[in-house]
Structure 1
Amino acid sequence: MERIALSAPETEAPAAEKHPVSATMILLPLQPDEEPRWAWRTRLRADAGAGPNARLRLRPQLTMAGWSGSIETAARIADKLVDNAARHGTPFGDGCVGLELTLFPGTDELLIEVDDAAPEFPDFETVACGAPSGRGLWWVEHYRARLSWDVKKDGNGQVVGKTVQALVPVSWGESA
């Protein structure tokens, strides 16, 4: 599946020329071409407990996978992404959102992906900019993970939702 991210444009257009969607599409190089060394996925009920549920499920999975990064940091990021999908996204027909974890050989970076059925992400640039906002995604920036999103398509190329991604480095520093 080709990954496409939406990011803020390089220059700001005058107000009269602004399009309602102020984003540009770029190829998203978050996933290396090589096979992951480990992957896990699950579906979580899109309710008030979705974020904490993600955190509880992620910890033993990353421990068993032998990830060398901060499992608590990854758990917090997954909590925020899943909680955001449950609160602001749209659950799939089964009332769930998807959570997928992937570890890559070489770098041992962790890719956290959360899927929901809403194909748009209003104000992505604003909520992902690193300033505290109502959606909690500033935590992703706080932990020095890279945040992106793309449209999720089925096997026939039909848009079925979106995927929000956070690429978590093995070490994130001591500032948190």
Structure 2
Amino acid sequence: MSTPETSLVVPAEAELAIARSLSTDLPGVPYAVQGARFWVRMSVTALCWQGDIPQAVEVISRLVDNGVRHGMPTDVPRDQRRLVLSAAVAETGELLIDVSDLNPEFPDFDRAVAGEKGRGLWHVARLGARVIRFLPHEGAGKTVRAVLPPGPVNPYA
């Protein structure tokens, strides 16, 4: 049984001690994926993350694509649709990639991560990321977080 969206709270994992972080806003439109790919390459390099940068790029691509497709309420005008991207390196060396959108709902989140509903989050998990979601402390919408470990990841392990 899944937790109702209205009762989601920020999980303890979302409160990791952050050593360094960067964030940006992007429009909630399909071309945001390209901007996100460029931004994360630059950001993880600037943050000195010791992990697989191409995997981080693929992870953010999937999360931003999902945010654009499913996180933009239809009643929000196109010029007001936005995503907030964050990349942070935890004191543990893990990379936290957050994509926040405007829609607080995410039905069947666990099924999506398991690949039973779409392939985006399943692919993110196959890339070695732990995937969680939570409602922000303030503002509307939700955040989907992918946590990647430092060092190389074998998605087939």
With structure 2 as the length reference, what TM-score do the two structures score? 0.83
- Larger proportion of helix: 2
Q: Which residue of 1 aligns with 2:118?
A: 134
- Please tell me whether residue 98 in structure 1 is matched to residue 78 in structure 2: no
Q: Can you give the 5+ residue segments of structure 2 that lack an aligned partner in the other structure?
A: none
Q: Which residue of 2 aligns with 1:48?
A: 30
Q: Deviations over 1:55-86 (max 9, x none)?
A: 11110111122111011101110111111001
- 1:29 & 1:153 partners in 2: Cα distance? 13
Q: Verify the 8 A CA contact 1:30 1:167 in the aligned structure 2.
A: no
Q: Tell me the C-alpha RMSD between the 2 structures.
A: 2.3
- 1:31 & 1:132 partners in 2: Cα distance? 25
Q: CA deviation at 1:173?
A: 3.0
- Please tell me whether residue 160 in structure 1 is matched to residue 143 in structure 2: no
Q: Which residue of 2 aligns with 1:116?
A: 101
Paired residues, number: 149
- 1:128 & 1:63 partners in 2: Cα distance? 27
What aligned pairs does 1:142-157 form with structure 2 within 5 A after superposition? 142-154=126-138
Q: Can you give the 5+ residue segments of structure 1 that lack an aligned partner in the other structure?
A: 1-8, 10-21
- 1:49 & 1:26 partners in 2: Cα distance? 31
- 1:175 & 1:113 partners in 2: Cα distance? 20
Structure 1 residue aligned with 2:51, among 66, 69, 73? 69
Q: Verify the 8 A CA contact 1:43 1:99 in the aligned structure 2.
A: yes
Comparing 132-141 with 56-65, greater Cα deviation is found at 132-141
Q: Verify the 8 A CA contact 2:130 2:146 in the aligned structure 1.
A: yes
Q: State percent identity of aligned pairs.
A: 32
Q: Which residue of 2 aligns with 1:86?
A: 68
Greater relative CO, 1 or 2 (CA 8 Å, sep 6+)? 2
